[in-house]
Chain A
Amino acid sequence: MQESSVIAAGPPSPWSERWRVWRNWLGSLRFALVNLLLLFAGVWVVYLELPGALWALVLPLASSALNLLVAIAVNGAFRRQLPLLAFHLALLAIVVLVALGRLTYLRGAVEIVDGGEFDGVLTTRDAGPWHAGRLAEVRFANLGFAIDYDPGLRRGQTRNEVAYRDADGAVVRTTIGDQTPLRLLGYRFYTSFNKGFAPSFVWHPAGGGEPAFGAVHLPSYPLNEYEQARDWEIPGTGIPIWTMLRFDEIVLDPDKTDQFKLPGRHDVVVRIGEQRWEMRPGMAVDLPAGRLQYVGVRGWMGYSVFYDWTVPWLLAAAVTAVLALGWHYWRKFAARPWNQAKDDGLSA
């Protein structure tokens, strides 16, 4: 019976034979080794910042995915050994998820003054081509922050109070910080080391329109302690203005444990064209286009923003892979003690 079926099937065609050889190679351990070595080389290309870093990773990862797919499909060992199958499926999932993550991620940054609200717009933004999140809908308010400092101006814990509306519209106040981001609609907002002082102004247009609020985010403090000045424009006017914050008190004492605080007695130097003013809180200057009033100094916090929906799935896949690999080795090693053979002694 068996013999007749073989005769009926006939000899394998050169094409099917060639396909069989290729298939076996694509799903082989040898091809897996080649991919691991390529990935090894790719990592060095990325680390050394050589040209073509993206492709140096994408190609071995894509090749590894192909190897895993074919191996799972054709290698009988995977069907016989569930942990090995689970391990390779999890590895395949990791490769696919990393690729999807790179296509849909978002990284960015935004600075928000104390009392200000995030309006869905980032200052810097780097996103994958398929990113389709709901950042425009995200709103939260920065209610102020506190940062501890150890002697030597070594930054300690950051505690930033924020408020947002939950799904029911209720206002939620919470504290975020170094290990605790604010999570809204899949986006994570992390406090950063980037923060500083923001002299705040109100602009009253000469025509009687709505007053406009403006806060000048001076360079990060204490990193740029002696460069507390910046060019900006009066909101809605296009008038260029230069502002410098001056104070002579020690805001952060480098010799003792301290906390980030705003300068108390201070003034701001404002320059528009050839004109120059020294202003204290509450003072105002009259310009042809309107009145500029200095309100006082506030703090601003820089947030780094992160979005990647694949993260929890990647974690699940990675943990599955490790557990499956552990299970595989456990079964393999438990089946035979390492010193079971009787040829103990020198093997030379």
Chain B
Amino acid sequence: MDYLLELKVLWAAIVAYVLGGVLAIVSVALGRRDERKILALMLAGLVLHTVSLGMRWERVGHGPFITLFEILSSNVWSLMLAFVVAYWRIPKIRASAAVVMPIMFVMMGWLMVAHPGEGHFPPTYHTPWLFIHIGLAKVFLGAVLVAVGLAGVILLRRAGIGLRRFATLPADERLEELAFRCLALGIIFDSLMLIAGAIWAQDAWGRYWAWDPLETWSFVTWLLLAVALHLRVTYRPAPARTAWMVMAVFVMAFLTFFGVPFISTSPHKGAV
């Protein structure tokens, strides 16, 4: 019964997110200003999603970190939270929701088709470092998602799409500067995530690094992020080029966070 109620609440959250996202896209397309309604819908989605996650946590006795369904659900929640904070605190970039929300729709669709069954919580996951590690990763991914929204606007404008619709947003150079700052925030939290993960791995598996699939992909993502930041400082590329770098970092981070747990039996080698 709890199981069904939990899924119903999750569905309600997704509906709220989708309504908010659709309204954001329609607002940009029609040049309307529905920002308060969009924010309210996103917040309603977040509250419902939090309740659903809390119910599941209470029911299965562990956080949403084990199955693909749990990983997707907690990441949709954290990414929405990151974007809602950006949407609320930086009004000038709100139209970028028209870029970000379609990405979120893809993840929500994936979440809806993932099996919501329970997974085994391995003994090596009983550590506060798990929460620290995952929390830092979510901040990193959230920062990169906001950068993707800005980069998407730059690329759409370069392609001649939505020139008038995105006119309320700052100039490409400003958006590129903000995207760069998001990447800088991203590398700080990505580095902290790797450090916390290494501490956990040392305690749990007796090694701080072992080139397992998730470790390797995470490090590759970190390297790509470092390359993107170095390229920007070294060559001062045009905003469109920085935007492509942001997209590349996001794709790599997305593959790391969602691709590796999807193809691997356990996110980390030796996790069970």
CA A180 – CA B206 in complex, angstroms?
10
A329 within 8 A of B: yes
A 187-241 contacts with B by CB, 8 A: 188, 190, 193
Return B88 CB to nearest CB of chain A, in Å: 16
In-complex Cβ contact of A341 among B173, B219, B223, B272 (8 A) = B173
Interface centre among B120, B188, B206 (most CB of A within 10 A): B206
Interface flags for B108-142 (1: CB within 8 Å of A; 0: not) read 00000000000010111011000000000000000
**B123/A178 in contact, CB under 8 A:** yes
Return B259 CB to nearest CB of chain A, in Å: 14
Classify the secondary structure of A's interface with B.
mixed
B 200-246 contacts with A by CB, 8 A: 202-208, 211, 213, 216, 219-220, 223-224, 226-227, 230-231, 233-234, 239
CA A154 – CA B122 in complex, angstroms?
8
**B174/A306 in contact, CB under 8 A:** no
A326 within 8 A of B: yes
Return A127 CB to nearest CB of chain B, in Å: 14
B268 within 8 A of A: no
Residues of B within 8 A of A44 (CB): 220
In-complex Cβ contact of B230 among A36, A305, A341 (8 A) = A36
B 177-219 contacts with A by CB, 8 A: 177-178, 181, 184-185, 187-188, 191-192, 195, 198-199, 202-208, 211, 213, 216, 219
B102 within 8 A of A: no
**B170/A315 in contact, CB under 8 A:** no
- Contact A33-B230, Cβ < 8 Å, known A315-B199, A319-B195: yes
Nearest residue in B to A305 (C-beta to C-beta)? B206
A348 within 8 A of B: yes
B59 within 8 A of A: no
**B173/A343 in contact, CB under 8 A:** yes
**B223/A36 in contact, CB under 8 A:** yes
Residues of A within 8 A of B177 (CB): 338-339
In-complex Cβ contact of B188 among A318, A325, A344 (8 A) = A325
- Contact A322-B174, Cβ < 8 Å, known A33-B227, A154-B120: no
Residues of B within 8 A of A52 (CB): none
B 5-59 contacts with A by CB, 8 A: none
Among A9-17, A138-146, A155-163, A266-274, the one that faces the other chain is: A155-163
A293 within 8 A of B: no
Residues of A within 8 A of B166 (CB): 346
**B239/A40 in contact, CB under 8 A:** no
**A341/B195 in contact, CB under 8 A:** no
- Contact A348-B158, Cβ < 8 Å, known A154-B120, A326-B188: yes
**B206/A345 in contact, CB under 8 A:** no
CA A188 – CA B201 in complex, angstroms?
13
**A346/B163 in contact, CB under 8 A:** yes
B103 within 8 A of A: no
**A179/B124 in contact, CB under 8 A:** yes
**B223/A40 in contact, CB under 8 A:** yes
CA A319 – CA B136 in complex, angstroms?
14
A 158-176 contacts with B by CB, 8 A: 158
- Contact A181-B206, Cβ < 8 Å, known A36-B223, A333-B181, A347-B171: yes
**A157/B123 in contact, CB under 8 A:** yes
CA A107 – CA B204 in complex, angstroms?
15
CA A169 – CA B178 in complex, angstroms?
61
CA A321 – CA B226 in complex, angstroms?
13
Residues of A within 8 A of B269 (CB): none
What are 7 A-B pairs with beta-carbon distances under 8 A?
Answer: A150-B120, A158-B123, A181-B203, A338-B178, A339-B178, A344-B92, A347-B239
B interface vs A, CB < 8 Å?
Answer: 92, 120, 122-124, 126-127, 157-158, 163, 166-167, 170-174, 177-178, 181, 184-185, 187-188, 191-192, 195, 198-199, 202-208, 211, 213, 216, 219-220, 223-224, 226-227, 230-231, 233-234, 239, 272
A interface vs B, CB < 8 Å?
Answer: 29-30, 32-33, 36-37, 39-40, 43-44, 46-47, 107, 150, 152, 154-158, 177-181, 188, 190, 193, 304-306, 311, 314-315, 318-319, 321-322, 325-326, 329, 333, 338-339, 341, 343-348
10 more A-B contacts (CB under 8 A) besides A315-B199, A343-B173? A33-B234, A36-B227, A43-B219, A155-B123, A306-B206, A306-B207, A322-B192, A341-B174, A346-B163, A347-B172
